[in-house]
Amino acid sequence: MELIQVVRVLLRHWWLVLFPAIIVGAFTLPDIIANEPAAAGGYSTIIRYTAAQQLDAIPDREGDFQDVWLASELTVNAFTEWVRTNRFAQAVAQEAAEDSVQFDPGALSIAADNERSIGQVFLNWHDADELGVIAQAVSRVLQTRSEEAFPQLGGEPAQVVMLDDPIISAAPPPLQGRLRPIIQLMIGAAFGIGLAFLVEYLDPTVRQREELEHLGVAVVATVPR
C-alpha cells in the first residue's frame, strides 16, 4: 500500500483513530494529574559520612599519615558493604523503634556507595517524617554499632563523622510510572489505526479511480468533486 493510500485511509476514518485514544486518555488523565512525586516515588535522602578506626583500639604500629588515610578509605569501603546487608537494616529498625517508628527491615529501600573515602547512604521511604527518624537511626548505627560487624575494630566502634544533615526531599516517580500513560496512549492510537484499516478492508464502497482499475474495470472519465 502506497503512502498516499495510507494517508487517505487515516483521514477517511480519523474518528476511529481518535476514539480509542480518547477513551484511554479519559482513564489515564486522573493518574497523570495525581502523579505527584511524593505520591508516586515517596521521599528520599542522602547521608554522607567519613569513618576511621579508633587508634586506641588497635595495636601500636609505625606508620605515617598516608597509612591513616588508607585505613580510613578501607573502613569506608567496608561500611559500604555493611550498609547493604539485612543485619544493618535490622539494626536501623531497632534504633528507629526507640523513637516510636516501627517498620519491616525488608521494606526499607537502602543503598550505599563510596567515593574518595566518603561514604554515602541512600534512603527511600513513603513518609517524610518517618524517613527523618530512620535517617537519624542510620546515623546512630553507623556511629555506635560498627564493632558488631567488624571484629578487626578491636571491640570499639569506628569513629564516624556525619558531613551534613539529612535533607528529606520528594523522590521522582519511577520511570515505569512516568512512561505508563504515554505507552497506554500509544497503544490506544495503534489500536485505532488498526481499527481504521479493518473498517476500510470490510467496506465495499469504491471511492477512487485506482480501485476500479485495480479490479480490471476501465474508467472512461471521472467527475471532479
Say whether both 151 and 65 belong to one domain.
yes
Enclosing domain of residue 97: 41-170
Task: Count up the domains in the chain and report the number.
Answer: 2
Say whether both 93 and 12 belong to one domain.
no
* Cα(2)–Cα(38) distance, integer angstroms: 49
Say whether both 159 and 202 belong to one domain.
no
CATH number at residue 77: 3.30.70
Say whether both 138 and 164 belong to one domain.
yes
Q: Is 225 within a domain?
A: no
159-201: pLDDT as tens digits: 999 998 889 988 776 666 667 778 888 888 899 899 888 888 8
Say whether both 104 and 26 belong to one domain.
no
* Cα(91)–Cα(96) distance, integer angstroms: 9
pTM for the model stands at: 0.62
108-162: pLDDT as tens digits: 889 999 988 899 999 999 899 999 999 999 999 999 999 999 988 888 899 999 9
Q: Is 28 within a domain?
A: yes
Counting DSSP H helices and E strands in the chain, the numbers are: 8, 5
- φ and ψ at 45, to 5 degrees? -155, 160
Say whether both 96 and 128 belong to one domain.
yes
Say whether both 101 and 201 belong to one domain.
no
Say whether both 15 and 85 belong to one domain.
no
